[in-house]
Amino acid sequence: MNKSIRPFAFLSFALVAVSAVYASDIKKAYEMPDASKIVQDDLIPSATKFTMPKDCKLDDLESIARGKYMFHNLNSKNDKKENLPKGMKVPKKGEVKPYGNCVACHNIENAIGGGTVGPDLSNYKTNFVDTKVRNAQFVYQKIADPRVDAPTTAMTVNLTTKLFDEQEVCDVTAYVLSVKKEKSTKKSIKK
């Protein structure tokens, strides 16, 4: 063997030998958690069929106001208690409550920057409920867990994952089904 290669070959052999000794006991070097346990903890429960509670008041103005607030807001981070609709739960200090932020994907009457990823919910009651194509139970289920009839949906799973409670799903349902006054975009011209 060439004299200039011998030290390199010896050093390489020594490095491989030392690595082999330490590699055989690598579990002692760092924690190796059971990945299957981590994955199990992150899995969303399977799709769940829900029935709208009998006490879900779809025509209650306070419920509609809470639903509107949740539909148009991401979370409680910048909430001020005095600005919340009556009956809205105030998160504990330091906690951030996620809301629907439905407007990110859906358009609805008077929405600012309504999304186009999900179906347009404008005039939902007139277009779907009054024509008997859909009913309040359908809307409640879609908000609670849309995977029941659309397993690959990108919509948030709200009740199954406990992101919302039953009352919050009722509130958003009430808002979607409410008749909303359109804001006039025409300015009155004085003659």
Summarize pLDDT for 75-110 with one digit per residue, the tens: 888 888 888 899 998 888 888 888 989 999 999 998
Residues in a beta bridge with 98: 75
Nearest to 170 by CA among 183, 157, 159: 159
Average pLDDT over residues 162-183: 92
Mean confidence (pLDDT) of the chain: 85
Q: Rounded to whole angstroms, how far apart are CA atoms 81 and 88?
A: 9
Q: Rounded to whole angstroms, how far apart are CA atoms 96 and 74?
A: 10
What is the pLDDT, as a whole number, of residue 66? 95
Q: Rounded to whole angstroms, how far apart are CA atoms 76 and 85?
A: 12
Residue 158 structure tokens: 């709200």
Residue 19 structure tokens: 């690595």
- Listed range (23-27, 155-159, 174-178) with the worst mean pLDDT: 23-27
pLDDT value at 188 more than 80: no
What is the pLDDT, as a whole number, of residue 152? 92
Q: Rounded to whole angstroms, how far apart are CA atoms 63 and 174?
A: 7
What is the pLDDT, as a whole number, of residue 8? 72
CATH superfamily of 61-177: Cytochrome c-like domain (1.10.760.10)
Q: Would you give the DSSP letter of residue 183?
A: P
With bands split at pLDDT 50, 70 and 90, how would you rate the model's confidence at 123?
very high
Q: Which residue has the tokens 């509609």?
A: 64
With bands split at pLDDT 50, 70 and 90, how would you rate the model's confidence at 23?
low
pLDDT value at 183 more than 80: no
pLDDT value at 155 more than 80: yes
